[in-house]
Structure 1
Amino acid sequence: MGDDWQKTICILCSVNCGVDVKLDGRHITRVRGNRDHVASKGYACEKAQRIDYYQNGRDRLTSPLRRRADGTFEEIDWDTAIREVAAGFKHVRETYGGASIFYYGGGGQGNHLCGSYGASTRRALGSVFSSNALAQEKTGEFWVDHMLFGTGLSG
């Protein structure tokens, strides 16, 4: 492997496949599975192959946006965005109760702390109900596991 290949992992799902990447500044120009990775052993799915698309897509937001009355958006700073979102959550919690706030977050990689910060956020809001990307992404996998291994997985 030449010096221009860098070892890393894909963060687009919970598997964390090992990948080797070639970089050009901020852009990932080539991706291949890392054969030395203990779990993926050289495998890299289509998502990993397109990781630069997710990191540097032309429609990627790079700052918070606030919707104007006419439906267009304006850039705002992070402190303003956090303050306004917090005020909105506070209003909903005080008006309708925390149980009216459905928490959706985490699920794949890039969200390792969702258990910690998600639980803290739900507790602060009084939120009762939650879900994440695994509800859609992994439902089929759970069905296949059930068909392969039977009902013993449920307890």
Structure 2
Amino acid sequence: MSTDIFVEAQMLIRKPVSDVFEAFINPEITTQFWFTKSTGKLEVGKTLTWEWEMYGVKSDVKVHDIVPNQLIKTEWGDPAVQVDYEFKEMEKGTLVVIKSYGFAQSGEALLRTVNDNTGGFTTVLDGCKAYLEHGIKLNLIEDKFPQK
């Protein structure tokens, strides 16, 4: 396992930390900018399923820890990795940092995974920013790999 390799994406979202945190906990909001379905709200100890219907993809998400308005620790993917969402209140809004680590791949496969994670989480943060700040649903995830 590549424990020393991690991916980090971050974005300042110009909304209060409670609003931004809720956007990642509550699937009624998260589905506006990320996955299309969820089996429930994030809660410590629960395993949920997130679905991207347009791609026919599902992922089980284990919720390891939640510190309200500060941190969400999850494990998901195939092979599973740790994904932490950190929220920091700032003068102009909320800094969201998504960290992914614990990759099982090595060599070229690890490079592809790191690239996919970096791009994917950056796209999630971009969509979240547009939705929370301006009420715009950009469909970034859906349009990232349009079906022919």
- Normalised by the size of structure 1, how large is the TM-score? 0.25
- Decide which structure has greater helix share: 1
Q: Give the number of the structure whose alpha-carbon radius of gyration is greater.
A: 1
